[in-house]
Amino acid sequence: MKKEISFPKRIKFFINFKCNFNCPYCYLPESFFKRKEKNIERVCKKLCEYKVQEVEILGGEPFLNKERIKYFLNFCIVSKIYLQSISTNGQFIEKEILELLKKFNDLTIQVSLDAATLKTYKIVRNSSCFARVINIRLFKENKIRTVLSFVANKKNWKELKNFIILAKKLKVDGISLGGFIPVGRGGRVKSWELDMKEIIQIYYLVKKQNGIKIFGIEEKGCPAGKEEVALLPNGDVFPCGLFIAFPETKLGNIFQKEWISNREFYFKLINFKIPSKCLKCPLPSLCPSGCKTFIYSYEKRKLSI
């Protein structure tokens, strides 16, 4: 008899397959952006069936499809689902959407910026829209908690100090800091990955800072597959967003009779133990050694280590 596997109550919902950017370091594969989305009403119905309680919204770019994001925001309000955060590149901020966002008491908008200057922004984001991202002020003016995201890599890490200064000038509520993991499209720029000397320099730079919260620097553990899953717009379920780069790690689909079909991989994943030395290390969010996807992609041993 098969052991019943409950659907996690917390999800990272990739609300669409579209993005207006073409960032070289993106962890999503090119195939992600060519898929077809399921009707948002059908997705929401399934989330109710599975009694999902907490959601983070990602994309693509979530605000590209105005009607889709509006429907989902209203669904969260009516269903009393805790909307923790929305990750965005900050290019599409409309008054109607802002009014909806203001209805959430504990929502965080995470704006991917990754640079302190236009020159570096053009390199890491493959875009010249840096000035428009400063529309971040609109979120703050509407009293919506806002943090700036910085994915540290060889092309931008030396700007981190100035990035922190910029964040303070914009009066955002914090910075989300993480290290680059070369999967998906990012696999083409593996040379951007930080070495340990750079990671240590970043760590001590951050520890010296004050006057702004920097999230992620000391987070430990990996909830992928057990405490939360990544849900795609077509209903596909992955352990986390980083695993989307590896089709064979798909756990299942919420529109199937049983949401999980890849049971063998699921049990390997949840039983996998992050090395104890990684759990003790003070550099977890910058060094990917404690990340299941990193281990999967680099060791090629299907989490059997």
Predicted TM-score (pTM) above 0.75: yes
**Domains in the chain with CATH codes:** 10-299 (3.20.20.70)
Neighbours of 1 (CB within 10 A): 3
Structure tokens at 199: 């990671």
pLDDT at 251: 97
For the record, the structure tokens of 130 come out as 């840096």
Span 68-91, pLDDT tens digits: 999 999 999 999 999 999 999 988
Confidence of residue 5 (pLDDT cuts 50, 70, 90): confident
DSSP 267-280: HHHHH----HHHHH
CB 259 within 8 A of CB 7: yes
Rounded Cα gap, residues 156 and 114, in angstroms: 7
Rg of the chain in Å (alpha carbons):
19
Query: Quick check: helix, strand or coil at residue 165?
Result: helix
Summarised one tens digit per residue, pLDDT across range 100-140 is 999 999 999 999 999 999 999 999 998 888 766 667 888 98
How far, in Å, CA of 109 to CA of 107, rounded?
7
* Angle ∠(184,148,16) on CA atoms, nearest 5: 45
